[in-house]
Amino acid sequence: MASSDLEQLCSHINEKIGNIKRMLSLRNCGQEPTLKTTLDKIGDEIIVVNELLNKLELEIQYQEQTNHSLKELCESLEEDYKDVEHLKENIPPHLPQVTVSQNFVNASDVDPEEPVKVEEPAPTKKPPKEQRSIKEMPFITSDEFNGIPAYMKSRLTYCQINDVIKEINKAVVSKYKILHQPKKSMNSVARNLYHRFIDEETKDTKGHYFIVEADIKEFTALKADKRFHVILNILRHCRRLSEVRGGGLTRYVIT
């Protein structure tokens, strides 16, 4: 055995002997009445400190979980903000524009000493003859769009479907304005359309608003192509219209 190994072994044995001596001395101290009370108090303090450390560990775990939840919430809010910005920049063109009319005067522009003049309302004109309302097709909501099967809507977008609805409503309104128009005021074109509209009606369409492909071509710029018929199929799925066939003609009834 080398001298260096022997020295390390002796040092290790001496260290163990020293530890044993210290433990024996501490055990002897615990038997002394004057030190026993002090050691008991130290033991109690160690228990208290241990309980505090346990509470601190639980608090740290709670704060870590809270921090993780806040990070997830922050990420979710950032995604919602991006969605809102996207919606703001891509407002569907078919939505009505909101105009705010300002019918009040700022208080700072009014002289407190000057009497306020109250304008009398203008005499109301005789109300015109009540016009018959024309039923239009409601636009597809985002929830309805999301519920359309993927195979059915393919690559069509929410706005493309509602743009077609807008054109269909245009055709419906144009058609029924002619039908509701007094015959004496019709020109030759309107009169010919009127007679065609009447001929296309059946007992199944009586009391309902409907159009045919000829009305689409007459009143809109839409083409009755494959894409158009795919959208019609989607509108039937969403219960916006139904079909009534007969006489070699398909009638699209607004439901």
**Which band of pLDDT confidence, cut at 50, 70 and 90, is reported for residue 8?**
confident
Q: What is the pTM of this model?
A: 0.52
* pLDDT number for residue 105: 47
Specify if 92 maps to a domain.
no
Q: Give the type of residue at 131.
A: Q
Final residue of a structural domain among 87, 103, 119: 87
* pLDDT number for residue 196: 95
* pLDDT number for residue 21: 82
- 128 has a pLDDT exceeding 60: no
Same domain, 237 and 143: yes
User: Mean pLDDT of all residues in the chain?
Assistant: 83
Answer yes or no: are the C-beta atoms of 132 and 110 closer than 8 Å. Answer: no
* Higher-confidence position of 229 and 108: 229
Specify if 125 maps to a domain.
no
Determine the Cα–Cα distance for residues 227 and 156; give it in Å rounded to an integer: 9
- 188 has a pLDDT exceeding 50: yes
- 118 has a pLDDT exceeding 60: no
Same domain, 63 and 174: no
Specify if 75 maps to a domain.
yes
Determine the Cα–Cα distance for residues 247 and 251; give it in Å rounded to an integer: 10
Final residue of a structural domain among 29, 55, 87: 87
Final residue of a structural domain among 54, 87, 120: 87
Structural domain of residue 182, as residue ranges? Answer: 132-254
Answer yes or no: are the C-beta atoms of 230 and 156 closer than 8 Å. Answer: yes
pLDDT tens track for 62-91 = 888 788 888 888 888 888 888 788 777 777
Same domain, 248 and 185: yes
Specify if 82 maps to a domain.
yes
Mean pLDDT value across residues 29-38:
69
Q: Domain with 220 in it: what CATH number?
A: 1.10.10.1890
Same domain, 70 and 139: no
Tokens 């208290």: give the residue: 48
Determine the Cα–Cα distance for residues 71 and 65; give it in Å rounded to an integer: 10
Please tell me the total count of domains within the chain: 2
- 221 has a pLDDT exceeding 80: yes
Specify if 107 maps to a domain.
no
Mean pLDDT value across residues 45-68:
82
Same domain, 75 and 149: no
